[in-house]
Amino acid sequence: MDPRLLPFGLCLLVLFHSGLAQIQPRRPQQQPRLSGRPECQIDRITAREPNHYVESEAGVSEYWIPDENDELECAGVQAVRHTINPKGLLLPYYPSTPELAYVVRGQGIQGTVFSGCPETFETPMPSEGGREEFLDRHQKVYRYKEGDVIALPAGSVHWTYNDGDTPIVTITLRDTSNVANQLDRTFRKFFLAGNPLNKQIQHGGRSQQGNGQSGRRQEQPRRGEEQERGRGGSRGGGRREEQGQEGSNIFSGFDDQILQEVFNVEYDTVRQLKGQNDNRGFIVRADNFQVITPEKQEQRSSRGSRRGGANGMEETICSAQLSANLANPSHADVYNPRGGRVSTLNSHKLPVLDLLQLSAERGILYKNAVLSPHYNLNAHSIIYVTSGSSRLQIVRNDGSAVFDDWVREGQLIVVPQNFAVVKKAGEEGCEWVAFKTNDNAITSQLAGRFSYVRALPEEVLMNSYEISREQAKSLKYNRQEGVVFSPRSTSPRESAKNTLLNVLFG
């Protein structure tokens, strides 16, 4: 090698490494998630129906508001199910906590406004002369469909519209213990339009209709209900009546003259902005709605072929992808043709989840199939059954079962961190979505090909369980499937024997 080229090579090497350092910045260390309560003793877990509802002009919202010291309170989460009718618009708002939504049914348009980002979308509007002009500029909007997971960052403005012919049903998790919620553990929704708090809240007097929740204990008003009171009340008998606060969107608290000055508009516009005479709730009917979205092919081409985690360059918060689909079978992470499939969505697949510190899982179990017993190492799991039913068993650290029952469509249940859980589908199978309170949630299997049993030496199994070597081999290798187990075929005689043993010994 020519010695004269050595200094030149060293310079190139230094420039390459410095450039690489700029291209791949270090990710900041993730802040720890706050706990829901300082102390929690969970003796019993319940599969829950919504316990509060609000009716609006073009839809209904149903809430899971936690009781004090229950598993929702301990996990530091709340949940809401929105049903948005055709031509329904969920009014713009910004939340105090991150939200992660799953589209159970329907399709529509979603908008999220990030502070400081440019208005890159233009909607053509007809002019008086008949020509089309780009008059309305706004931040990007995108379409979503059944099976999509939608990230809703805290503090950003969100709205959604149903431009289809069928109702949209979404289930949304609110992470009230997220570090973004700095004031306290209460969820707050700041509406920017309408008058969502204009009606009295009725605590009681509305009967249950076919949701199997009769006979539940009396309930007291729950923390956070005052944030979203409209025409409606609580579901579940025995609650006393209580008047909700009068209120409106945040502009109602500002002086009229100030609003006229900052917006440079007439007084009549300010009155409409405050929405004090608006009785529609916060899901309103919008017949005249003309917002265009790019075609799916254009959206795909603009996203490119990027994979992996946060990159720091080609994606900023202004251009971040905010949704991904979990319903497509080709996206399954686990698949057993005889048992079902499981698809996961974490921050490696959707980088914006790193900001939310949340992730999601969608599972399908066929008739009588079993999801391997497992536990979540670093997250709580909030499961919502979208179809069918399954029998769940949840066991805490002292070996006692805190839940052993069926969970059916429309019910929600919390599996706390490190609690062991096993799931077996019913005769009609089971489909669910699970929200995890970590952007990269990790599960550890307790049975099957990927379980701890496979990783232990036979000697450890023999001495731990006082079994023979042959029994240890059976325990270790009899189940060759990994995560989703196909139904075990048994003869009628063996089934009768198992039934008798269950009756005799529980």
Q: How far apart are CA 173 and CA 432, in angstroms?
A: 14
Residue 452 has pLDDT above 90, yes or no: yes
Query: Phi/psi of residue 2, each to 5°?
Result: -70, 125
10-14, 174-178, 193-197, 480-484: least confident range: 10-14
Q: How far apart are CA 374 and CA 342, in angstroms?
A: 14
The b-or-e profile of 363-400 (16+ CB within 10 A means b, else e) is: bbbbebbbbbbbbbeebbbbbbbbebbbebebbbeeee
Residue 418 has pLDDT above 80, yes or no: yes
Q: Please state, as a whole number, how many other Cβ atoms lie within 10 Å of the Cβ of residue 224.
A: 19
Q: Please state, as a whole number, how many other Cβ atoms lie within 10 Å of the Cβ of residue 33.
A: 18
How high is the pLDDT of residue 204?
32
Superfamily of domain 321-505: Jelly Rolls (2.60.120.10)
In whole angstroms, how large is the CA radius of gyration of the chain? 26
Angle separating helix axes 469-477 and 458-465, nearest 10 degrees: 110
The residue to which tokens 């979603």 are assigned: 110
Q: Please state, as a whole number, how many other Cβ atoms lie within 10 Å of the Cβ of residue 471.
A: 14
Can you say whether residue 150 is alpha, beta or left, with left for phi > 0 and alpha for psi between -120 and 50 degrees?
Answer: beta
How high is the pLDDT of residue 25?
37
Residue 357 has pLDDT above 90, yes or no: yes
Please give the residue that has the higher pLDDT: either 250 or 242: 250
Spatial contact of 237 and 207, defined as CB atoms under 8 Å apart:
yes
How high is the pLDDT of residue 13?
54
Please give the residue that has the higher pLDDT: either 127 or 22: 127
How high is the pLDDT of residue 306?
42
Q: How far apart are CA 437 and CA 72, in angstroms?
A: 12
Mean pLDDT across the stretch 8-23? 47
How high is the pLDDT of residue 225?
44
How high is the pLDDT of residue 354?
95
Residue 437 has pLDDT above 90, yes or no: yes
In whole numbers, what is the pLDDT of the chain averaged over residues? 80
Mean pLDDT across the stretch 93-113? 95
Residue-wise DSSP of 254-313 = S-HHHHHHHHT--HHHHHHHHTTT--S-SEEE-SS-------HHHHHHHHTT--SS--SS
How high is the pLDDT of residue 68?
61
Query: Phi/psi of residue 355, each to 5°?
Result: -70, -40
Q: Pick the closest to residue 360 from 447, 304, 271, 441 (CA basis).
A: 441
- State the sign of the Cα–Cα–Cα–Cα dihedral 216, 228, 92, 440: negative
Q: Which CATH number fits domain 52-222+242-307: 3.40.1280.10, 3.40.50.12280, 1.20.1740.10, 2.60.120.10?
A: 2.60.120.10
Spell out the domain ranges in the chain: 52-222+242-307, 321-505
Residue-wise DSSP of 94-130 = EESS-EEEEEEE--EEEEEE-TT----EEEEEE-TTS
Per-residue confidence band for 1, with pLDDT thresholds at 50, 70 and 90: low
Q: How far apart are CA 407 and CA 404, in angstroms?
A: 9
Q: How far is CA 258 from CA 192, 247, 272, 275, 350, in A?
A: 16, 19, 15, 16, 41
Q: Pick the closest to residue 332 from 358, 379, 364, 310 (CA basis).
A: 364
Q: How far apart are CA 132 and CA 30, in angstroms?
A: 48
Per-residue confidence band for 224, with pLDDT thresholds at 50, 70 and 90: very low
Q: pLDDT tens, 292-322?
A: 777 643 544 444 444 444 444 345 788 889 9
Q: pLDDT tens, 310-356?
A: 444 345 788 889 999 999 999 899 999 999 999 999 999 999 999 99
Q: Which tokens is 296 given?
A: 């799916």
Mean pLDDT across the stretch 451-456? 93
Q: How far apart are CA 66 and CA 61, in angstroms?
A: 16
Q: How far is CA 306 from the centre of its chain?
A: 24
Q: Could you check whether 52-222+242-307 and 321-505 share the same CATH topology? A: yes
Q: How far apart are CA 423 and CA 66, in angstroms?
A: 24
7-21, 363-377, 430-444, 454-468: least confident range: 7-21
How high is the pLDDT of residue 10?
56
Residue 242 has pLDDT above 70, yes or no: no
How high is the pLDDT of residue 384?
98
137-151, 203-217, 382-396: least confident range: 203-217
Per-residue confidence band for 237, with pLDDT thresholds at 50, 70 and 90: very low
Amino acid at 352: V
Per-residue confidence band for 490, with pLDDT thresholds at 50, 70 and 90: low
Residue-wise DSSP of 38-67 = S---------B---EEEEETTEEEEEEPPP
First-last CA distance in the chain: 81
CB-count burial class (<10 Å; 0-12, 13-18, 19+) for 427:
exposed
Spatial contact of 168 and 83, defined as CB atoms under 8 Å apart:
yes
Spatial contact of 158 and 93, defined as CB atoms under 8 Å apart:
yes
What are the strands, taking DSSP E only, across 155-220? 157-161, 168-175, 189-191, 201-202
- State the sign of the Cα–Cα–Cα–Cα dihedral 119, 173, 344, 34: positive
Q: How far apart are CA 371 and CA 430, in angstroms?
A: 11
Per-residue confidence band for 195, with pLDDT thresholds at 50, 70 and 90: confident
Please give the residue that has the higher pLDDT: either 135 or 196: 196
Please give the residue that has the higher pLDDT: either 167 or 128: 167
Q: How far apart are CA 259 and CA 463, in angstroms?
A: 76
Please give the residue that has the higher pLDDT: either 453 or 66: 453
